[in-house]
Structure 1
């Protein structure tokens, strides 16, 4: 699943990690600062430096500050949820300790003031600007107050100390502002980097998914014939080898040979080849992953069946438009021929032979008109208008209308349904009429044993999981398996007067209605054309079925 960016109010992982590092730095710097205070307060008197104005106060401040620094450093991880509160309280203690240490260790006042600047800078990285400036002002007031309330030496020395305190205050404000601006830029850069990493991770996942689902097989092979990556299509075109088989020479020797020939001669063999039993033929193509790198090669396996299918679809589309154009041109003279033949048949001067000729003309005009109608249906591809139907009632009405419009003679056509239980389905009634009419017409014409009448049934029933099914079954000789595999292909026919478009159009209209049409051989002889339709969506409180 692709990564998602964190909410605007939640700190990112990179920002949280940066705050943790800055808090660690501040706490451990405070510990080092406290050790410096302790070292200055407990320095041997023989060194003579620094001069302690108040030894007891200096040592007490150093020990208390050291204990506080150790406690805060030890509790750094636990205080992470309260970073702002802990940092603010710690800065107050840092400023108080620095002011007291400056008063007790006058000789080290400059170093103490400089170390306090580091505390304020770290605080500016962790706190909002107003709060950081407040502590800079507090530190400035502390240093100025110490210089005013505890003057050391004559007036010139006091003035110098006051100037130093003012300059330190100015430095505190400048450092605070600078560190705050830098912290904002760092946070923005970290957030941008994290967002870029999320985008790159998402892009990598999308690319991997696209390559994995591509119809073209894709493989990445190194110079040692080792397969590094392979998508699903390539894995299937190689015959579904096991996951531990990564040697191209063993998985596909012919492909390995062609790769070696391409790398040594630079010539590509573009003939189709079958890499494993039971898989389509492919045309391999090779490309180096980098222009100047021979270590990795991308192999593309183009499935020739997909190319052929696409070419067939384009051919059928073009043929359909061309045939429709020709059919329109043929229709007008055909109508004139048929009309003239009908008028000629009414003449009383014609003999038996002439009447037979006129009958042949009429029969072939009817056949040619049927061919034109099929071709026009192939080119129209009208959009379906589905309705909810009761297949049992619809089949009964269809059979009644068919009997009224066609002379069945000794042939039989009957309906078998679930009785009172409705078989609900969603389909376009007009297109369903054309599909079933075509199937019944074929069953009555071809689904009969020699010398016997045809027996055709239209069955409406429920299949597995309540799927609505409509079947046209005959008791004829059936269809040979070799022929059955091709009967839905366009322009395929075994009859000398057939167009090969009836079953193709029937399947196309079935698919336009989200249904499927298939041939099923009947045990004991006969054929079954099964139409599996779409059941209606279940809407609570609405079980009505539209009348056919």
Structure 2
């Protein structure tokens, strides 16, 4: 026996078995009702029993059969199509026999066949439910014709039999149509629910893998979604409980309140002094009355670096080729200038011109080296170094052209601070910072001086290295662009020094920032070694 609709989903099968158990429960209650009339001698009063013996036997048989059907549906959940169809035909036969024992169609027992036909169409819509309804109508006519032949009823009662038979067939057909439509709708809903669950799972994976932070709040400011990037940007790794807006950093709450007040979608957030700047983009969810808020968190430094990387990627290959092509003639010119400088016949004016050629050759060679280092950067080879002794040796070895003997002061809270860096790359970073600082200090005062300050930040625990000069300083507008490639305020500058220093610091897991010094002259650059590097 093949079911009308294939039942493949476990939840649909559970629903069908539950419906069958409820119908079996109705069947046994009905059988108990028939048996109770015998027990309390009320059968004659209700139906006007014509054949009491047949009524008793049919009632007891129907009760036992109903009990078996209920037990099977509860304990043996196999062969649903058999358990849903075979008992229905037994219902039809038992009710026809009970109707015959109680005087035929006039007893009203036949009306119960309508319920049986409707239940069969709901449990198993299709040809078998239509067959059971047709069988019930045919048996009605057969039973009534038998009663007519035995002169138990009159011929004018055929109208009632015909109406009851039509009611059974119409009920079965209509219920079949509705049941089939309900099944299709249920399958469609389940398919859509499965697609929705798949989409939600896919979205969850995508959001979790996003580099940008994502936060979703409901209308009561409970956090409904937060991805890994948002936890990292908001520094929530050490705070497992963050269920509401009020569990997040106070600075973020202030930005949220500012957005609610001003409805300004984009707001800049800095969790702590010297920390990374975040761009918060707020979007209300729902139409009409807001049902929540979506917040995107973007690391401004990462955005800027990606833009710069794209810019350099487009120029890198071209500039590298140009640099290689320039190196050969530049080497020839530099070598010729050196040979010319050794000549004893040069007058002082020509010697000055030769020195200018050598100076600009060195400058062009420096630019070429910087361009080549950008196009072929190597990964950092970090090792643990004692920072203060390493800086003391760095100061001894530092030599800046055209400055003379610079005055460099080193101050440190502790002498045993250790960091994990690539020493050669840290040297390149500090040479760039110190050379700029000493040059601007010499330009302003005629004496180059610089301060290197090392200290340990307690909250959060980080090692800080400040490079401070007493030069002219950097304006606020210029400070926004100093780490951009090819940006320079001098005509003879390449605009790559600070950019390379920034890139090298990031390769070593450190941060290089410019610290505003509104209260004093000069410039201050800060190298921050993050948490986990502050070993003492």
Question: Fold-level match, TM-score > 0.5?
Answer: yes
C-alpha contact (below 8 Å) 1:217/1:301 kept by paired residues: yes
Structure 2 CA distance for partners of 1:91 and 1:199, relative to 1, 3 Å: same
Distance 1:335 1:54 in 2: 126
The one of 108, 122, 125 aligned to 2:122: 125
Write out per-residue CA displacement over residues 266-316 of structure 1, whole angstroms, 9 at most, x where no aligned residue: 45784x442147752212333333455568443332211111112212332
In the other structure, the counterpart of 1:315 is 311
Q: What does residue range 83-482 of structure 1 map to in structure 2 within 5 Å? A: 83-106=80-103, 109=106, 111-127=108-124, 129-151=126-148, 157-158=154-155, 160-161=157-158, 164-221=160-217, 227=223, 229-240=225-236, 241-245=238-242, 248=245, 251-267=248-264, 270=267, 272-276=268-272, 279-290=275-286, 292-293=288-289, 296-320=292-316, 323=319, 480=427, 482=429
Distance 2:95 2:43 in 1: 25
Q: What corresponds to 2:525 in structure 1?
A: none
**Kept in 2: contact 1:258–1:269 (CA 8 A):** no
Structure 1's 260 and 315: CA in aligned 2 closer, same or farther, altered over 3 A? same
> What 5-or-longer segments of structure 1 have no aligned partner?
1-7, 382-430, 433-448, 451-475, 508-515, 519-548
2:100 and 2:111 map into 1 onto residues whose CA distance is 15
CA–CA separation in structure 2 for the residues paired with 1:111 and 1:25:
24
Post-superposition offset of 1:115: 0.7
User: Compared with structure 1, are the counterparts of its residues 364 and 10 closer, same or farther at alpha carbon in structure 2 (3 Å cutoff)?
Assistant: farther
**TM-score, scaled to structure 2:** 0.58
The alignment of Structure 1 onto Structure 2 pairs a total of residues equal to 406
CA distance 1:247–1:204, change in 2 (3 Å): closer
Give the secondary-structure state (helix, strand or coil) at the position aligned to 1:151.
helix
Distance 2:431 2:329 in 1: 36
Q: CA deviation at 1:482?
A: 3.7
Question: Structure 2 stretches of 5 or more lacking a match?
Answer: 379-395, 398-422, 434-483, 510-536
Normalised to the residue count of structure 1, the TM-score between the two structures is 0.57
Query: C-alpha distance in 2, partners of 1:32/1:358?
Result: 117
Question: Within 1, Cα distance between the matches of 2:227 and 2:279?
Answer: 16
Which residue pairs with 2:409 in the alignment? none
Which digits, 9 at most, give the CA deviation of each residue in 1:491-515, with x for residues without a partner? 89xxx999979xx9xx9xxxxxxxx
Q: Residue 60 of structure 1 is aligned with which of 57, 61, 72?
A: 57
Which structure ranks higher in relative contact order (CA pairs < 8 Å, sequence separation ≥ 6)? 1
Q: Partners in 2 of 1:164 and 1:223 — Cα distance?
A: 63
Q: Deviations over 1:361-384 (max 9, x none)?
A: 8999999799789969989x9xxx
Matched position secondary structure for 1:11: coil
Distance 1:108 1:28, change over 3 A: farther
State whether residues 370 and 496 of structure 2, in contact with CA within 8 Å, keep that contact through their aligned partners in structure 1.
no
Task: Name whichever of 132-141 and 191-200 sits farther off.
Answer: 132-141
Pairwise CA RMSD: 5.5
CA distance in 1, matches of 2:359, 2:323: 18
Contact 2:308 2:485 in 1 (8 A): no
